[in-house]
Structures are given as structure tokens and as C-alpha cells.
Structure 1
Amino acid sequence: MNPSLRILMAGGGTGGHVYPALAIADALTQAAPHVHVAFAGTRDRLEATAVPKAGYAFHPITVSGFQRAWTLENLRFPLRLLEGLWDSWKLVRALEPAVVVGTGGYVAGPVLLAARLQGCPIVVQEQNAYPGVTNRLLGYLSTRVHVAFPEAEAYFPTADVRVTGNPTRQQLQQTTRAEGRAHIGMPEDATLLTVLGGSLGSAALNDALEASLGALLDRPNTYILWQTGTRYYEALHARIPSHPRLRMAPYLDRMDAAYAATDVALCRAGALTCSELLVTGTPAVLVPSPNVVADHQTKNAESMAAAGAARVLPEPRLSSELVAAVTALLDDASARAAMTRAAQQLARPEAAAVIARDICSIARAHSSSPTPHA
């Protein structure tokens, strides 16, 4: 590939958009070591710190989303949109990327639109079974759309769609169970329940687990790894007594170790979490958040449950059924093994590499085309 060829990634706001983009970027640099990958994102969200930390150039774009509930901030939306389009137009013009890749979030819209208006091919990567509005609209302009769940194909009727899975970090597949258990500090023969509420945390999961701790820790061979989220850790840590089989943390830096050690995960059903559960083969009880757009977490969870890779516990039943739901799996090794096999059949551990190769192919075709940029 031409050493001067540039790929621009656009996506952000949450880890579900940022980390797949970083996984694709890593795969691109491995597939074509001389390719230059840069990122466009917002100034005040996760991508502003995660992207430079990963070693990639970061270009901030002025953009904000339209709030579905009425707010005075919506009055500024048209101006912000124009600012974002202008920033994006200048960035695309300056970088002259061979391909622009969008992984979702508000910033992907203006950046990919500016690229397409300048004659640059765009590629969309959709993480959820129910695509977001931005990606659905961009699908009409895309050279290719990569989706993680087969259910998402129907939302891109005019696009060239490929079911490739969600890109995940390679490290998740490289840590052994023994290494994970050693990192957490627990014996090989114990059972581990890991509770994941996301980086900020889930009040519903935290409240239900706090009420159920006594019953769960009464089981002499059960350990609990509890990722509380940064918003809730201090208060929970202050009021919950320490226990030799309870590990609490605001955030888990070593997710590879956590997944490798886990027997059962209790967690939300965000796209990134679901994909990580699949590639690690981790049995899970999924509690979809009811507070997300179009209830897309329920669609993610139902897709995994239909394949036998997870069980779904709706949030209204969480408090009353948590103990029964997780102990049923902790006590049934054969059921867990079946879920692991189902997850591995659904998993696409090479998703990042497959998407990267496709982007490289599109980039080569575009760079060799005699048609100039608009």
C-alpha cells in the first residue's frame, strides 16, 4: 500500500464507539505498517484521552447531539451542526484520506458527510443489533457497512452490508484462566461472579447486588468481582463491609484478566460488552438497560440468548431474581460449557482484521482511481 495513504476514523462519545475504532486502527497498522491512521472526535468525551493514549493523532471536531427531550441546548444544535460540518470539511480537505471510517456517535455524521461530499469513500461499522440514527443515514452514502449482528442488515437496504462482528482487543483472547485468577487473587477451584455496570456504573445492578450480597457470599466457594463504576464506588465502599471473597473496584483496567477468570458475568448488554463476552466465551446473565435509544440493548441480549450464548434478566425482575439467576449457572458447569460453545460459534475474533483488510482494499481502489477529489 502507498506509504502516504491516510485513513481517518470518526466515532466517539462512549467506549462502545471508541474501542472498536481503536481495534480497527490497530489492525490497519498491522496489516499495512506504513498506513497513517488519524482520528476525529469530540473534545470532551472519552476519545479525547483514549486516542492519544493509544498513539494516534487526534483532531477535535465541534459537534453535539440533538436531545430527544426538549432542552434549551437544542436551540444551539443548528449552529453546532454547521460548525461540525465546517471543521470536518477542513479536516478532510487537509488530510486527503483514502477512506473515512465511522463507528458511530455524533461526530461520525459530519465527518463522513464531509468526506463523501469531497469524493472520498466512507465505511460504516455498526456495533448494535439495532443501528443508531447516524449510522442508518450514513448507510445510504457508504461504500461498505460492517455490522456485528445479522439483525442489523435489514436497516441498511441500499448498502453493501457484511456481517463481520465487533472489533475487540486482541489481549482479551490471550490471557489464561490461571493468569486471570492470579491477578484477582482467588483459588482455581472457586466460582467467580463478575458484575459489570460500565465505566460509570449501573445504579440498578449495584442496588440489586448490594441487596443480594449476603445470600451470594453465604455460598462458601463463591467469589464476587464487582465493578461498581466511578460514580458509585466511594459510597458503596464506605457502607459495605470488607469480605475475603469480595473484590470491589470502580473500574477494571485488566478486563482480559476479569473475563478469563469469570464463571458467570452479570452485566448490561451494550454492544462492546456483548462482543467481549462472545470472544472470551464468558457465560452471562444480561440485564438490558431500559434507558437507551430504541431499547437496542434488549435486541443485543435477545440475539445472544436466541443462540444460547446468554440468558436475559429484564431489569424489573432483577432484584427479585438475581440470586436465582446467577446461582443456577454457577452451580451448573454443563450449562456454562454449552453457553461458552455457543458464544464461540457466534464470536468473530478476527473482526478487526477482516474490516481492516476491506478498508485497505477500498483505499487501494480509491487511490488508483483517476477521479480527483471534489
Structure 2
Amino acid sequence: MSKKKIILTGGGTAGHVTPNLALIPKLKELGYEIQYIGTQEGIEKNIILGEKIKYHTISSGKLRRYFDLKNFTDPFRVLKGVWQAKDIIKKEKPDVVFSKGGFVAVPVVIGARLNKVPVIAHESDMTPGLANKLSIPYCTKICVTFPESLKNIKANKGVLTGTPIREELFKGNREEAMKICKFSDDKPVILIIGGSLGSKVINDSIRAIIDKLLLTYNIIHICGKGNIDNNLINKKGYRQFEYVKEELPHFMNGADLVISRAGANVIFELLALKKPNLLIPLSRKSSRGDQILNAESFRKSGYSLVMQEEEITEDRLLKDINNLYRNKEKYITNMGKSPVQNGVNNIIKLIEKVQI
């Protein structure tokens, strides 16, 4: 019997790559040969090559909702990418393609359809992003993470699977986190995550009340590249990191509370780990509003406390953090009752099913 083969795609941000990483160990266990299609410049290239997976590059344009001169040339780059993806898929003959979205995925999804290869796409957010909107007509099934999302997917293509979560996140160790951060007391720990690029709003707001917070908590602050505050480097109980990889599972498991943006990947990781959290979603001024919808769904389910950027004041932030800590058991209980946990097995079942 010939080995099963899958091509994964998705890129542009880490959020379009890390869910694919979560599927890889299980796919390998099931005997799949795994390949990846991405761009030459995308964040996905180094991440995937680090996993020792065969990587194909194609041309792709960025899909924008705003005016840019590149809007006139990028459609041609997308078309070129479609033919490149079509040729790669024709040559490699995968049994199935799995797309995590992002602008690189559109040519791959269309290329798979032209080769009559089934495509499963995954949408993390409440409403489909532009890339997935364009891809949906060419997909066999669309995996979603929020029950509310099913109404946005027509033709019975939507399947509620949850989001795939990397196994190593569950293997973190609190003692290791304390050791890395050199915390010498047993104060509760707040972990602050501002997304892969960091968040100026969150960074500035936390630092404005840092002395008050440190009276009660130790703080691990992942603040983004170039965002370390040198004036606070030696402050006891406060550790700053531009970016973390191997340390993240330890930090996530070591945290008593998490303050975070509301990207779907991170909030479902918090849900799976049952971490009480304060979500500060990206505002509509700098996004399409998907994080606001994600946060609202988690607030309604009782998994998260939510604060909009426009609502942040020093007093309100301090008060909400203290309230979250006081009521943490309530949030942990609610998260334990969630019907949507780690989506890896649900998605793998779907991948196996569409090939029958």
C-alpha cells in the first residue's frame, strides 16, 4: 500500500502556521508523507524547514482591503501562484491538502481544486478572513473553532472542530518557569502576551502600573521585538522577553493569570490550559474586528474577562486584574465545561474521511 501524502499550506503570520505544526506529529504517527507550500519570504518558510519538512515556494500577492499600488500587480502574482501550485500538486499527487489560510493559501487551494484533490481549510476566527472567503468555494470542508461560525459557512461545508493545539504546550512546568525568570518568592504570576509582534498599547498600559502590580504579582512580559524597556530590566519580579519559543510552554503552565490579545490561536490555547485571562482585542481602527468578536464569544461563555483598548485606564486595568485573580476559580470551572477543546483529533478524522 502506498504511503498517504498531505500538503499543508498557510502563512503570512505565525497564526497561520502554528496550527499546522500541531497536526504534524499526529500525521507522522499515521504514516503521512508531509509537504508544505508557502512563499519564499513568508514567516512560514523558516518555521517549516525547522521541522525538516519538504518545502515548495510559490508566488503570491497580499490580499488587501485598502488602497495600495500593489493591488494592481498582486493579482498577477496570485495567478502565477495558482499555476505554480497546480504544477506542484500535479507532480506530488497528495491525497489531500490542508489550508490554514493567509494570502499564500489561495493559489494552493485553487491549484488543488484544478487537480481534483480534496481541500480542508481551517478558520480560526469567528468570521472568515479574506483569504478563506476567497478559498471557500474551492474547499471540500471548512473547520471552524466557534459554534457561531457555522452560520457563515454555506453548503454544509462547515464542521466545528476547535483549533489544533501543539502537544508541547501541555508539557510545560511551573518550576522551570520560575527558574528561567529567577522568581524567588511564591507570588501569583501574570503572563502578558501581545501577539507575535507585541502590542504597544498593552506594553505601555502594564508598565504604567508596574509598581502597583509587583506588590502582589510576579510578571512575565512577552513584549515583542525591540520593545524591551531598559529602565525596567533590573526590577525585581518583572521579566521581559522580546519573543519566546522553548520557554512558552513553561510560562503558560506557570501563569496564574494571562493578559493577551484575542487572536483565536492564543485564546484556544488558554482555554485548553484553563488559564484565567483578561483579553484586550485589537481595535477596529487597526483590524477587521475579528478579535473583538472572538473576545466577546469567550466573555459570553464565561471563559474570559474582556477590556477594549478604548476602555483602558490605569485604575480600571488594575481593578480588572485583581478581580480576575479573585474570581479565577469561576473562570477555570467554566473553561473545564467547554465542548470545544484541542481540535487535533477532530481535524485528523476529517482529513482521513475526505479521502474515502
- Give the TM-score band, short-chain normalised: over 0.9
User: Following the alignment from structure 1 to structure 2, what is the Cα–Cα distance between the partners of residues 289 and 351?
Assistant: 24
Across the aligned residues of Structure 1 and Structure 2, the Cα RMSD in angstroms comes to 1.8
Shift of 1:14: 1.0
Q: For residue 26 of structure 1, what is the aligned residue in structure 2?
A: 25
Q: For residue 192 of structure 2, what is the aligned residue in structure 1?
A: 195
| 1:175-254 to 2 correspondences below 5 Å | 175-186=172-183, 189-217=186-214, 219=215, 221-233=216-228, 236=229, 238-240=230-232, 242-253=234-245, 254=247
User: Following the alignment from structure 2 to structure 1, what is the Cα–Cα distance between the partners of residues 310 and 62?
Assistant: 29
Q: For residue 342 of structure 1, what is the aligned residue in structure 2?
A: 334
- Secondary structure of 1:54 counterpart: coil
Q: For residue 82 of structure 2, what is the aligned residue in structure 1?
A: 85
User: Following the alignment from structure 1 to structure 2, what is the Cα–Cα distance between the partners of residues 213 and 160?
Assistant: 47
Q: For residue 160 of structure 2, what is the aligned residue in structure 1?
A: 163
| 1:32-43 to 2 correspondences below 5 Å | 32-33=30-31, 35-43=32-40
**What one-letter code is carried by the residue in structure 2 that aligns with 1:152?**
S
1:269 to 234, 237, 262: 262
In structure 2, the CA distance between the partners of 1:157 and 1:93, relative to structure 1 (3 Å rule), is: same
Decide which moves more: 5-14 or 136-145: 136-145
What stretches of structure 1 move > 3 A for 4+ residues in a row? Answer: 176-185, 347-350
Shift of 1:323: 1.3
Shift of 1:179: 4.1
- Secondary structure of 1:294 counterpart: coil
Paired residues of 2:60 and 2:81 also in contact (CA < 8 A):
yes
Shift of 1:348: 4.2
Q: Deviations over 1:91-145 (max 9, x none)?
A: 1111111111111101111101111121111111111112112223322332221
Paired residues of 2:257 and 2:277 also in contact (CA < 8 A):
yes
Paired residues of 2:305 and 2:324 also in contact (CA < 8 A):
no
- Secondary structure of 1:346 counterpart: coil
Matched, 1:300 2:294: yes
Shift of 1:329: 2.0
In structure 2, the CA distance between the partners of 1:347 and 1:207, relative to structure 1 (3 Å rule), is: farther
Q: Deviations over 1:297-348 (max 9, x none)?
A: 0111111111111010000122332111112223x1xx21121122233274
**What one-letter code is carried by the residue in structure 2 that aligns with 1:311?**
L
User: Following the alignment from structure 1 to structure 2, what is the Cα–Cα distance between the partners of residues 349 and 3?
Assistant: 33
Paired residues of 1:139 and 1:159 also in contact (CA < 8 A):
no
Shift of 1:293: 4.1
Question: For structure 1, which runs of at least 5 residues remain unmatched after alignment?
Answer: 366-374
User: Following the alignment from structure 1 to structure 2, what is the Cα–Cα distance between the partners of residues 340 and 244?
Assistant: 29
- Provide TM-score, normalisation by structure 2: 0.94
Shift of 1:160: 2.6
Q: For residue 351 of structure 2, what is the aligned residue in structure 1?
A: 359
Matched, 1:70 2:70: no
- Secondary structure of 2:127 counterpart: coil
Decide which moves more: 184-193 or 224-233: 184-193
Count of aligned pairs between the two proteins: 353
Paired residues of 1:11 and 1:18 also in contact (CA < 8 A):
yes
- Provide TM-score, normalisation by structure 1: 0.89
Q: For residue 4 of structure 1, what is the aligned residue in structure 2?
A: 3
**What one-letter code is carried by the residue in structure 2 that aligns with 1:310?**
S
- Secondary structure of 2:55 counterpart: strand
Matched, 1:102 2:99: yes
Question: For structure 2, which runs of at least 5 residues remain unmatched after alignment?
Answer: none
**What one-letter code is carried by the residue in structure 1 that aligns with 2:310?**
P
Matched, 1:329 2:324: yes
In structure 2, the CA distance between the partners of 1:205 and 1:197, relative to structure 1 (3 Å rule), is: same
**What one-letter code is carried by the residue in structure 2 that aligns with 1:360?**
E
In structure 2, the CA distance between the partners of 1:347 and 1:318, relative to structure 1 (3 Å rule), is: farther
Shift of 1:89: 1.1
Q: For residue 372 of structure 1, what is the aligned residue in structure 2?
A: none
| 1:122-137 to 2 correspondences below 5 Å | 122-137=119-134
Paired residues of 1:140 and 1:159 also in contact (CA < 8 A):
no
2:304 to 306, 310, 335: 310
Shift of 1:275: 1.1
